[in-house]
Amino acid sequence: MICALGDTLEGIVDAARHKKIRLAHLPFTLASLPYSKPYYLIQRDERDSLDNRSEAYFYEILFSAVSRALLNAGVGSEESADMHVFFGSTSMDVPVFEGNHRRTLTSVSGMFLHASNGYGKIASSIAEKFDIRGSCYSFATACTSSANALLYAAAMIEEGHIERALVVGYDLYNNLGFYGFEALKSLAALEYRPFDRRREGLILGEACGAVVLEGKRRKVDDFTFLGGANLCDTYSVTSHDEEGSAVAETMRRALRQAGICRDDIDAVKAHATGTENNDRTECAAMRATFGHSIPPVTCVKPFIGHTVGACGVSELILFTESIKAGFIPSTPGFLEADTDLNVTPLTENMDVGKGIFMLNYFGFGGNCTTLILSNKDATG
Amino acid sequence: MSEMYIHSAATFTAEGHTGTNYLKEEIRRYTKENFRRVNRFILLTLLGARQCIAAHTLDGDTAIYLTTEHGILGETADVLDEIYAISSLPKPFGFINTMSNTAAFYLAQNLGIRGRNITMSSQQLSFERGLELLKVDFAGGVERSALIGGVDEASLSQKTMEDHADRGWRMMNGSGWFYVKRERDGACGAFTAIRSFGSGTSCMRWISEKERSSVDVVSFGALIVDEEAASLRKILKPAAEFDYLSDYGYCGSATACGISMFVKLCPGKTLLHINRDQRGNYAVVEVEKF
């Protein structure tokens, strides 16, 4: 994974353990606004400067993350040929056109309309680069995009349709998203504080994460996908019903699909965007699902930002790699409980070994996705 | 394969230059809801799908699978212009409606259904890959009924224009939909095969083995070239060919539109639709009408 915390799993986990968070502050130059807002930018070196970005940069990040995932999973070239690609993103190739725009006189919208090869182009590029011969599936369900990519990759393996999948979540900085969320008045001015009484909104981030899914364990400490669910909350295109009924139903269906009950869950990775509506809805849904015994909850967005469509995979990697290292990361920035929410996330890292975990993701367009993972039968 | 019975099918197509006001007028034939802040892509989605289920009452758990090549083109370009050319923040609903899954949301909201809601794509094979997802959900018992469709605005993509200009296809807005259930009662047809192949050779082998079973009608996707189509005709010896691209025009979701037109309009009992992507992966969809 490549994100604001770094580009190696060890570095990312170490940064999460010690809360070494790096925030950039980006201006709204194009709109001539006299202020900036925080953003979790990939900051490896000079290459990552926003001024240096173009199509080549977009694919360098993508191929680098995929290459590391394949290497880390020990997938050889013969095995990768048989893979199928599941890709999830909110912005898709918009960063490519915004980046290329700096080098031409053509307008961004003109380039977008005349040169776009469609949502499937990025997944096809992965397949071509790594000589993957299988099918490509690109998911565009806003902030649940790569979570849904995972859900379907697992279902196809479970049903015996495919043997092996590469699941990628990728969203790179783009003005469309940054300016768009500012227009919605959703961006926090200073700090990320999901579930906190003084939360003030979300902070966007960029990430590219890739995982390999297969019907058998490749490493002793690999996680198992137990089940998941996706439903649509038709309350509003921008927000969920504050009673949390559709969100709670998604959690319940995921538990049922995984063949477990609520008491089996050892910890929850919340979606926790830090916006008023999301946090209110999600906490109401957790109370409805778990009653008075909500398991330990963590919110990982304050580490890498809200990586929108990529968050399904990027937060899963951050969460599971931390557990492999023996801890569930606490929620940085959380200071004061909100009595209306009645959910207090972890404020200290929690030691953990084996368990069953719920990961929640929600998005615009009422999309709700819950995944259930376990490392209980892992021998590592 | 698991049962995928077609209970209705519908296609809405419109010329490339069709304005949203006309589409808003059209949608009033199917629903009283007033869609104010919606764009062309959302209206196309609503028009195709509402036509498809006009005579049906849907279960509240019905799922929606929206497949698309390009997603929302027009409004995304408008919002980029607001930022880059007009130098302002975009309008909030303009920004929200750049996300293509909002179309599937507005459809679910309008129909009062809250089942699974997926928007997906796969270069040149979006509809076929969407059918594969639905097949998995039916096989796993996750869903029992679904609306599945393909929607695309007329694309101005230079590459697409160049690719198709010499074949005489005009660019269209298209929205093709199917109401699919696991139950056969009341069905008008079925998806009887959805197959993927890593090469033309393996696809041809499968088709050759099917030679003895009859295929009334054959149709080809946009990337099947003339020589390849000729070879396939020779093997299949179909009674007829449905050249929906020449007859009705091209859009990113032409496959969904073409197959639903076959179900709704064309003579013939069975259709074999053969398509491929740029990487040389093939997909075959077989449809039987009852």
Considering A94-103, A299-308, B165-174, B225-234, the range whose residues carry the highest mean pLDDT is A299-308
Give the structural domain span for A178: 9-214
Q: How confident is the model at residue A110 (pLDDT cuts 50, 70, 90)?
A: confident
Q: How far is the C-alpha of B134 from the C-alpha of B148, rounded, in Å?
A: 8
Q: What is the DSSP string of B145-174?
A: EEEEEEEEPPP--HHHHHHHHTTTPPBEEE
User: A186, A214, A242: which is the final residue of a domain?
Assistant: A214
Instruction: Supply φ then ψ for residue A363, to 5 degrees.
Output: -155, 175
Which H or E run contains B194?
strand B189-197
User: A173, A193, A214: which is the final residue of a domain?
Assistant: A214
Q: Are residues A239 and A330 in the same domain?
A: yes
Q: Are residues A16 and A110 in the same domain?
A: yes
Strand-pair category, B240-241 with B217-220 = parallel
**Interchain proximity B115–A140, CB inside 8 Å:** no
Chain A residues within 8 A of B64 when measuring between CB atoms = 232
Q: Per the structure block, which two tokens stand in for B143?
A: 């869903």
Instruction: State chain B's mean pLDDT as an integer.
Output: 93
Q: Answer yes or no: is A2 within a domain.
A: no
pLDDT of res. B156: 66
Q: Answer yes or no: is A219 within a domain.
A: no
Q: Are residues A154 and A47 in the same domain?
A: yes
CATH of the domain at A247: 3.40.47.10
pLDDT of res. A109: 82
**Interchain proximity A176–B98, CB inside 8 Å:** yes
Structure confidence by residue, pLDDT tens digits, A138-170: 999 999 999 999 999 999 999 999 999 999 999
Q: Are residues A175 and A318 in the same domain?
A: no
Q: Measure Cα distances from B132 to A367, B64, B194 in Å.
A: 21, 14, 7
Q: Residue A142: helix, strand or coil by DSSP?
A: helix
Q: Are residues B61 and B175 in the same domain?
A: yes
Q: Are residues B84 and B222 in the same domain?
A: no
- Inform me whether the pLDDT recorded for B2 exceeds 70: no
Q: Are residues B130 and B159 in the same domain?
A: yes
Q: Are residues B125 and B225 in the same domain?
A: no
The position carrying tokens 């160049």 is: B162
Q: How far is the C-alpha of B200 from the C-alpha of B116, rounded, in Å?
A: 33
Q: Are residues B280 and B170 in the same domain?
A: no
Structure confidence by residue, pLDDT tens digits, B34-64: 998 899 999 999 999 999 999 899 999 999 9
User: B181, B215, B250: which is the final residue of a domain?
Assistant: B181
Q: Are residues A105 and A250 in the same domain?
A: no
Sign, CA dihedral A146-A147-A151-A154, equals positive
**What residues pair up with A208 in beta bridges, in sequence order?**
A2, A170
Q: Are residues B194 and B177 in the same domain?
A: no
CATH of the domain at B175: 3.40.47.10
Q: Are residues A113 and A199 in the same domain?
A: yes
A182 to chain B: nearest residue by CA?
B89
Mean pLDDT computed over A104-121? 81
Q: How far is the C-alpha of A324 from the C-alpha of A347, rounded, in Å?
A: 19
**Interchain proximity B95–A180, CB inside 8 Å:** yes
Q: How far is the C-alpha of B282 from the C-alpha of B205, rounded, in Å?
A: 12
Q: How confident is the model at residue B161 (pLDDT cuts 50, 70, 90)?
A: low
Q: Answer yes or no: is A240 within a domain.
A: yes
Q: Per the structure block, which two tokens stand in for B44?
A: 């196309």
Instruction: Supply φ then ψ for residue A279, to 5 degrees.
Output: -65, -40
Q: How far is the C-alpha of A84 from the C-alpha of A214, rounded, in Å?
A: 11
* Count of structural domains within chain B: 2
User: A190, A214, A238: which is the final residue of a domain?
Assistant: A214
Instruction: State chain A's mean pLDDT as an integer.
Output: 95
Q: How far is the C-alpha of A344 from the C-alpha of A206, rounded, in Å?
A: 26
**Interchain proximity A140–B98, CB inside 8 Å:** no
HSE-CB for A325 with a 13 A CA cutoff? 20
Cβ-contact A208, A172 below 8 angstroms:
yes
Q: Are residues A156 and A283 in the same domain?
A: no
Q: Measure Cα distances from A109 to A97, A103, A294, B198, B233 in Å.
A: 8, 14, 47, 35, 42
Mean pLDDT computed over A219-230? 96
Provide the shortest C-alpha distance from residue B268 to chain A (in Å).
Answer: 30
Residue among B139, B71, B149 at smallest CA distance from B117: B149
Q: How far is the C-alpha of A205 from the C-alpha of A318, rounded, in Å?
A: 14
Question: Does the CB of B144 have a partner CB in chain A at under 8 Å?
Answer: no
The residues, any chain, with a CB within 8 Å of residue A201's CB and separated by 6 or more, are: A185, A186, A187, A188, A189, A274, A275
* Count of structural domains within chain A: 2
Structure confidence by residue, pLDDT tens digits, A315-340: 999 999 999 999 999 999 999 999 99
pLDDT of res. B254: 96
Give the structural domain span for B198: 189-289
Q: Are residues B245 and B276 in the same domain?
A: yes
Q: How confident is the model at residue B133 (pLDDT cuts 50, 70, 90)?
A: very high
Angle at B117 between CA B189 and CA B6, to 5 degrees: 5
Provide the shortest C-alpha distance from residue B282 to chain A (in Å).
Answer: 9
Q: Are residues A259 and A189 in the same domain?
A: no
- Inform me whether the pLDDT recorded for B210 exceeds 80: no
Q: Are residues B163 and B244 in the same domain?
A: no
Looking at this predicted complex, what is its ipTM? Answer: 0.96
Chain B residues within 8 A of A159 when measuring between CB atoms = 136, 139-140
The position carrying tokens 């000079």 is: A46
Q: Measure Cα distances from B98 to A92, A150, B80 in Å.
A: 11, 23, 10
Q: Are residues A232 and A258 in the same domain?
A: yes
Q: Are residues A273 and A137 in the same domain?
A: no
